Amino acid sequence: MKGKRLFAVIIMFLFVLTFAAGCIYNQTTPAITTNPIPVPSDESQETPVSEAPETPEPAEEEQDKQGGNENTVYISASKLKVREEADTSAKVLDNLIKGTAVNVVEEKKDEAEKLWYKVGYDNIKGSVEGWIAAEYTVKDRTELLDETLRKLDFSPQKKTFVYPVNPRVEARGIYLTKYSASNDRLDRLIEMSKRTKINTFVIDVKDDKGHMLFPTKAAEKYSPDANKYATVKDIASLMKKLKENNIYAVARIVSFKDPVYTKHHTDRAIIYKDSGKPFTNSDGLIWASAYDRTLWEYNVEVSKEAAEAGFNEIQFDYVRFPASNGGKLDKSLDYRSNTGESKPQAIQNYLMYAREQLSPLNVYISADVYGLVGSVSDDMSLGQYWEAISNVVDYICPMMYPSHYANNTYGLPVPDAYPYETVFHSAKDSVARNKNIETPAVIRSWIQDFTAPWVKGYIKYSDKQVEDQIRALEENGVKEYLLWNAGNKYSEGAVVY
């Protein structure tokens, strides 16, 4: 009898041990969340910082896709044809822009002893293989960059993937002026959002003239006149209304075009060297220098007040140097530079500073860039180099307005008349550029919801043209978009469910 009991005890012990081991083996590793921003100084420790997961490190196979293996080469031609066979007369399968990373899977020489690479890469259609001329490739991508661009930070960034108290949304948005945000048009646009896919409002908090949406302490300190034209006296009520209607709120901060600030600080405006007169574009508005650290502080302090008021995201617009005829005016202009930074360095450093300051407030940051930035190999003399900006913000917002592209861009005689094709090519190039860095921003494009009669050969824009642009984005895997209409009148039929 004792033998049977002992046997039963042993069996039970083995069963429990096996069960416990199984539980341990199948247990899911708990998620590790950390705050990527250093502990704030004593002055800002009163602001609660919720812990949020960092952007995960790329897996080994993902690093290979991004150019991390020895078989990776980069396209050195401005645009290179991918052919079906290793022959210049073979069918063209695709075109790759300068800087695109591809993996070499085979090499061969043709009858003329010209070396060809069979390469593999991913595009919107999936995995692609084809042949390219080896002479138009390099092994090290930095060989494609001039000395200025090589100084930029392309290293993986410790971005916050999501703030638990501020979940990301798949934004489908519209732009609102500070006037629309303060009158009955706001209610009409909220009602429109209930009938459509629109879930995001991008609202002027600091507009093109340097004026505030609501009175801020930052403006009082740095640019007092900016508060004179504030249209919203009770920002808490506005934010409450947006939250109650499930609107993701984005604060638009115009960064370096600021005539009110430069009126107070005339020594910080961009000027002509010969006359000392302030530089303006065709709109007559004076630009401040993107090298001005005091202006950096001002913009970020306004952004902090917007974040504390309840905005989910800070979007920096005019985050660039003024258009200078492709840099031809640079010799004539005094940008007030005393830091030794290049234009793209100044813009990247500004955005990195903004993220460091704003991340503890649990807000995302985004940056508007020219639509063509994703398709060119330089910074367009604006300071906007795609990889440098995408690498340090949460969202990059190329302004893909077809009316803003020069004739024959992408082979289109008048891009404004080809909304689908223009946005398709621009989005395709932008997606390819994002693959050159390990921590790219989400692409969220601005698209055109207005007619541009100043463009010779223009077409009228309405529902169909907006739908065509959205379709072009979706076909490139870009799921988020923002509609721009300066008068805030939108083509509702293009965004209905």
Which alpha helices (H) appear in 397-492, and where do they start and end? 419-434, 463-474
The number of C-alpha atoms within 13 Å of 459 and in the hemisphere containing its C-beta is 17
100 neighbors 66 (Cβ within 8 angstroms): no
Q: Which residue has the tokens 């692609």?
A: 128
The angle subtended at Cα 251 by Cα 158 and Cα 450, nearest 5°, is 115
| DSSP structure class, residue 288 | B
- How far is Cα 32 from Cα 213, in angstroms, rounded to an integer? 39
pLDDT by residue, tens only, the chain of 497 residues = 444 444 444 444 444 343 333 333 233 322 222 233 232 333 333 323 334 445 444 443 344 334 457 899 999 999 999 999 999 999 999 999 999 999 999 999 999 999 999 999 998 888 999 999 999 999 999 999 999 999 999 999 999 999 999 999 999 999 999 999 999 999 999 999 999 999 999 999 999 999 999 999 999 999 999 999 999 999 999 999 999 999 999 999 999 999 999 999 999 999 999 999 999 988 899 999 999 999 999 999 999 999 999 999 999 999 999 999 999 999 999 999 989 999 999 999 999 999 999 999 999 999 999 999 999 999 999 999 999 999 999 999 999 999 999 999 999 999 999 999 999 999 999 999 999 999 999 999 999 999 999 999 999 999 999 999 999 999 999 999 999 999 999 999 999 99
**Which H or E run includes 231?**
none
366 with 169: CB under 8 angstroms?
no
| The pair of three-digit structure tokens given for residue 70, joined into one six-digit string | 């020895």
DSSP 323-355: P-TTTTTGGGEE----S---HHHHHHHHHHHHH
Rounded to the nearest 10 degrees, what angle do helices 235-244 and 293-309 cross at? Answer: 60
Q: Output the six-digit token pair for 108.
A: 């061969």
Angstrom distance (rounded) from CA 47 to CA 450: 41
DSSP letter (8 states) at residue 230 = -
Q: Residue 496: helix, strand or coil by DSSP?
A: strand
Determine the 3-state secondary structure of 149 from DSSP.
helix
Q: Residue 203's closest CA among 170, 242, 165?
A: 242
Per-residue DSSP letter, 205: E
Give me the pLDDT at residue 70, please: 85
CA 131/CA 317 separation, integer angstroms: 40
Q: Residue 441 and residue 461: Cα distance in Å, rounded?
A: 29
Rounded to whole angstroms, the Cα distance separating 15 from 9 reads 10
Contact (CB, 8 A) for 211 and 230: yes
3-state secondary structure of 210: coil
> Which runs of E-coded beta strand occur in 124-169?
126-133, 137-138
Minimal CA–CA distance to 192: which of 250, 247, 251, 249? Answer: 247
Q: What integer pLDDT is reported at residue 236 of this predicted model?
A: 98
**Residue 364 main-chain phi, psi, to 5 deg:** -85, 160
**313, containing H or E segment:** strand 313-317
Contact 243, 310 (CB under 8 A): yes
Q: Residue 313 has which token pair? A: 């995201």
> What is the 8-class DSSP label of residue 216?
-
